[in-house]
Amino acid sequence: MTNIKRRNFIKSATAAGVGLACSPGVIAGKNMFSGKDEVSVAVIGTGNRGRSLLNLLVKNTSVRIPAICDVDDNALAQAQKILQNNDRGKADEYTGSDYSYKELLVRTDIDGVIVATPWEWHVPVAVFAMKNRKYVGLEVPAAITTEECWELVDVHEETGTNLMFLENCCYDRETMAVLQMLRDGLFGIPVHATCGYRHNYWGSNSFIEFREDSADNKHWRNRHYLKRNADLYPTHGIGPVANWFNINRGNRFDYLTSVATKSKGIYEYLENHPEGGRDHPNAKLDWKQGDIVTTIIKTSNGESIIINYESHLPRPYSRDYSLNGTKGLWSGEYMRRGIYVEGKSPVPHQWEMGEAYDVYMKKYDHPLWKNHEADAKNSGHGGIDYFMIQAFVDCVSQNLYPPIDVYDAATWSSIVPLSEQSVAGGSEPVFFPDFTKGRWINRKPSFGL
């Protein structure tokens, strides 16, 4: 698609004030990639996540990968290996400076770009990409300050260039089934949900090797834990819940309040590590990030949502999803995966679990999952990455409005700075900006339809 054609398409789509849920292929769960025969996608940030997405892109024969960018030669070399192992040509490399991405993004032969850099580079790269008319796929969280959230929205509106927020957890099989159940009225009127990101980062983010005064970006997350006290990773939890509650589409987040515990987990790790101890320099740093940050959001339609962020205590991984409605409830938590529907569940006050639970999940399985389970099987995070990347490629190839848009990116990611403000202010309520500027009232639910 030429830039001119693309501009016309976007103009007519935004002028009409509509956003297509996703490409027809994605909506109906049938053949995907029904747009251009070939689409060219570049990857900026070829670290762990960038390479994992690249691994999916190379499996799609309609995707060309002409260019990659990273400041780390080793990350680029590993990305080239992926291309080589999949019989792809070598991609042009952009490296040498933090701003090398600009040289890549001014190229005119690139349709879309995946941004998988550290958080602080998300917005500068995405903004430059939109200004250069590249369809952006932006990793999570989209932004880490409220100003950055606004910048994404403003530049999208100024340029008409699309941005898909790559919140893969929206494609989680069970939460998509729950979305179907809600739309079918199984739980009555939704009232409350829980969600979160509970993942012990000790293994993947060494606090021992981190050097506060070093410019190396291997341990970039640690700088945030050192300086901030917030829910730094809210969107894996809130994405599916925002879809359940039609956020930015007839409903909106009104305000939140957050509380953080003390910070003990990082010290425990440092002091007990074989190379650590109480005298290790990093054990003497003043780490700001609390071990658990709990946020409660109130929506304009009257629902409440609890979001947990826990990254430095020993624990199994969890995203803590649950939902309560006037007719029943669902819990996706590992130890209590169950459902209860008043008047339908056979034993009053008791969860339906095991096989009885599976019957619901099968009945409400989303068509995407029903039709593409085998394709998704070996992709990342239990299959969700497959659906996300296919939706992105499909949207780029036809320049469709994305299923998870810039307003979702800004609203969900704003929980980072707003929770930080609330924690710092003694759990004061903090009101959400309306990134849609009132359009949430008339926008219609679209995800998964």
Ligand X SMILES: NC(=O)c1ccc[n+]([C@@H]2O[C@H](COP(=O)([O-])OP(=O)(O)OC[C@H]3O[C@@H](n4cnc5c(N)ncnc54)[C@H](O)[C@@H]3O)[C@@H](O)[C@H]2O)c1
| Chain residues that interact with ligand X, rule: CB under 6 A | 44-50, 69-72, 75, 98, 101, 116-119, 121, 139-140, 168, 217, 381
Q: Work out how close the CB of 386 gets to ligand X at its nearest, in angstroms, rounded to a whole number.
A: 12
If the CB atoms of residues 45 and 325 are measured against ligand X, the closer one turns out to be 45
Residue whose C-beta lies closest to ligand X = 47
Q: Kindly tell me which of 101 and 432 has the beta carbon lying closer to ligand X.
A: 101
The tokens of 265 are what? Answer: 């987990």
Instruction: Please tell me the number of Cα atoms within 13 Å of 419 on its side-chain side.
Output: 30
Instruction: For ligand X, give the closer residue by CB, 217 or 308.
Output: 217
**Taking a C-beta distance cutoff of 8 angstroms, is the pair 207, 282 a contact?**
yes
Cβ nearer to ligand X, comparing 50 with 328: 50
Residue 94 CB, nearest distance to ligand X (Å)? 8
The two structure tokens encoding residue 75:
């990350």
Least CB distance from residue 301 to ligand X, whole Å?
28
297-334 b/e (C-beta count within 10 Å ≥ 16 → b): bbbbeebebbbbbbbbbeeeebbbbbbbbebbbbbbee
The C-alpha angle with vertex 280 and arms to 276 and 282, in degrees rounded to 5, equals 105
CB of residue 4 vs ligand X: minimum separation in angstroms? Answer: 29
User: What CA–CA distance (Å, rounded) separates 36 from 438?
Assistant: 34
Of 8 and 48, CB closest to ligand X: 48
> Closest CB to ligand X among 10 and 404?
404
Assigned token pair, 228:
């901030």
Query: To the nearest whole angstrom, how small is the minimum distance from the Cβ of residue 281 to ligand X?
Result: 22
**Order of strands across the sheet with 292-299?**
338-341, 328-331, 322-325, 190-198, 304-310, 292-299, 253-260, 430-431
CB of 72 or CB of 434, closer to ligand X: 72
Name the minimum Å distance from CB 205 to ligand X.
9
- Nearer Cβ to ligand X (56/368): 56
Minimum gap (Å) between residue 142 Cβ and ligand X: 9
Smaller CB separation from ligand X, 24 or 118: 118
State in angstroms the smallest separation of the CB of 383 from ligand X: 12
Give the CA angle between residues 57, 104, 67 to the nearest 5°: 30
Could you tell me the sign of the dihedral formed by the alpha carbons of 447, 254, 118, 156, in that order? positive
Q: How far is the CB of 200 from ligand X (least distance, A)?
A: 15
